Structure 1
Amino acid sequence: MTLDIIGWVLVIALFAVGMAGAVYPILPGALAIYAAFFVYGFFISFEPFGWVFWTLQTIIVAALFLADYAVNAWGVKKFGGSRASVIGSTIGILVGPFVIPGFGLLIGPLAGAVIGELIAGSSFDKSLKVGFGAVVGLLSSTLVKIVLQLAMIVLFIVWLLV
């Protein structure tokens, strides 16, 4: 009984960290949710989970990793950005929240894409447009992550109830 309670507390904590990771990129979003399934198995039981469950969850995690980068890059490319602005935006996503707590998550990719595009030789106006695209890509990527990570959690709950 005590192990069940500890297991559920850890599962819920990992789900919370996972969902926070959808918004705050330094947290291991999808991996925390995936880890919650193992915690449930170790503390309670692996019995409800068969190969179909693990295959579906693994596909969702893979889709999350691909979508995270691809949607972000799409936003930059859609607004005319170069490879340099994609790299700058990615650096900005990782560094921004530490340099400017609170607003760095939005300002980081914007500034990174603008700087990257300026380094690539574009005008300031075009660089700003690309920076806006980086923010659009970030917000789109965040929405995709939230939806897919919620799908992982809902699938877990449904699997337990069936």
Structure 2
Amino acid sequence: MDILLFILGLACMFIGVLGSFLPVLPGISISWLGIVLLYFTNAVPLNYWILGTTFLVVVLFSIANYVLPSKGTQHFGGSKAGIWGTNIGLIIGLLTPIPFGFIIGPFLGALIGEIVFDTKNVQQAVRAATGSVLGILASSFIQFMLCMIYFGIFISIVWKYKATLFN
């Protein structure tokens, strides 16, 4: 049973890293699940400190994941209409089955929000929309780095308990 949980945990790690680039998969949450599965084995003693800390990071990042595109729009001179457009576009882009919808949606949402509701010039609207894309890219990069850190935690736990895990 320990080997099965280890294999499932390792699969979660790989899917989590992949999910840091694919918005359909919650990458860091799946990586955390991989660590949890490892602690369900009989070979690895439960460590509430690691589980609690990594879970707190998952919760904080999950919140920040939806805030970063809006902050990017705001930082590049976007108005409240652009920020609302970014958020609405992000949701629509995630639900729409088009390639790169998670990038196109917020960009178009911010652009439309700025042009239609704030009556700025097109150049300023494009600048604000570009900020939303940069926010999404920053969020994806942070999620990838966190997934790699979780993968490192997973490997270090396996390495520490390899003698009991694989017997």
Mark yes or no: TM-score above 0.5. Answer: yes
Task: Indicate if the aligned counterparts of 1:25 and 1:94 stay in contact, CA closer than 8 A.
Answer: no
Amino acid at match of 1:81: G
In 2, distance between residues paired with 1:138 and 1:20?
A: 16
> What's the C-alpha RMSD, in Å, of the aligned pairs?
2.2
User: Counterparts of 1:64-143 in structure 2 under 5 Å?
Assistant: 64-96=61-93, 98-99=95-96, 101-123=98-120, 124-143=122-141
Amino acid paired to 2:101: G
1:35 aligned residue (18, 33, 36) = 33
* 5+ long unaligned stretches in structure 2: 161-167
Pair 1:71–1:45, CA change in 2 (3 A): farther
How far does the alpha carbon of each residue in 1:41-86 deviate from its partner, in whole angstroms, 9 at most, with x for none? 33x2373331221232123213312331332222111111123322
Paired residues of 2:2 and 2:42 also in contact (CA < 8 A): no
Runs of 4+ in structure 1 displaced over 6 angstroms? none
Q: What is the distance in 1 between the residues matched to 2:35 and 2:93?
A: 31
Q: TM-score by structure 2 length?
A: 0.80
Change (3 A) 1:18 1:90: farther
Alignment-derived partner of residue 147 in structure 1: 145
Does the C-alpha gap of structure 1 residues 46 and 25 become closer, same or farther in structure 2, counting only changes over 3 Å?
A: farther
- How many Å separate the matches in 2 of 1:48 and 1:119? 57
Q: Is contact 2:9-2:38 (8 Å) kept?
A: yes
**Cα distance in 2 for residues equivalent to 1:13 and 1:62:** 21
CA contact (8 A) 2:81 2:110 kept: yes
Unmatched runs of 5 consecutive residues or more in structure 1: none
Which among 48, 51, 54 is matched to residue 51 of structure 1?
Answer: 48
Give TM-score, length-normalised by structure 1. 0.82
Please report how far the alpha carbon of residue 157 of structure 1 lies from its aligned counterpart in structure 2 after TM superposition: 2.0
C-alpha distance 54-103 of structure 1, shift in aligned 2 (>3 A) = closer
- Does the 8 A contact of 2:110 with 2:128 survive in 1? yes
